[in-house]
Amino acid sequence: MEKRYRLNNGRAIRLVEGDITRIAADAIANAANSALAGGGGVDGAIHRAGGAEIMRELDEMRPRVGRVPAGQAVATGAGRLPAQYVFHAVGPVYRDGRHGEPEALASCYRVCLEMAEERGCRTVSFPAISTGVYGYPAEEAARIALREVRGFLESRAAGVQEVIFVQFGEAAYRVYERLLGESGLKEAQD
């Protein structure tokens, strides 16, 4: 399943159900842990598909950066992935939504988009950061992701042209599809 929504300035948000490691983009956001040590879910899939060179870069970086706080990200090459970069974003572990989780999650998206701008990326793909083992409620997380991405795309003069939300499974896809429909964005017919 796939839909594209066009903003008034010509930029786009694309929604795809599938495997983020198979979707071509200039940069892929990864739902990483603060130790940058690899893991399960999206993180594990990205490392398996991208190859050992991604972890080698993180191993070299780790002594300099230490633990990455929630809401921040680091960049590596993308190895064998259909991208140039991987942005390893550390999402918050959800407690109750009143301990800085919304702000940290919003920061993940902003930081990755800023990193994409700095590197001249035109397309960026995102998973549903923090909604797996970190327990962030899917709809709340999707609202934050869509708000941050749309705000970024509407406020910039150049650079990132398309953001791709890649959802693993139909249920996650349907949450984003419903929220995009409610947002007033029209589905593109191109």
* Residues taking part in catalysis: 43
- Can you state the angle between helices 138-155 and 170-182, rounded to 10 degrees? 50
Decide if 26 contacts 13 (C-beta within 8 A). no
Nearest to 136 by CA among 93, 107, 171: 93
Distances in Å between the alpha carbon of 61 and those of 79, 114, 179? 16, 20, 37
Distances in Å between the alpha carbon of 1 and those of 78, 102, 168, 175, 190? 25, 28, 11, 13, 15
Nearest to 21 by CA among 93, 94, 79: 79
Residue with the two structure tokens 């680091």: 74
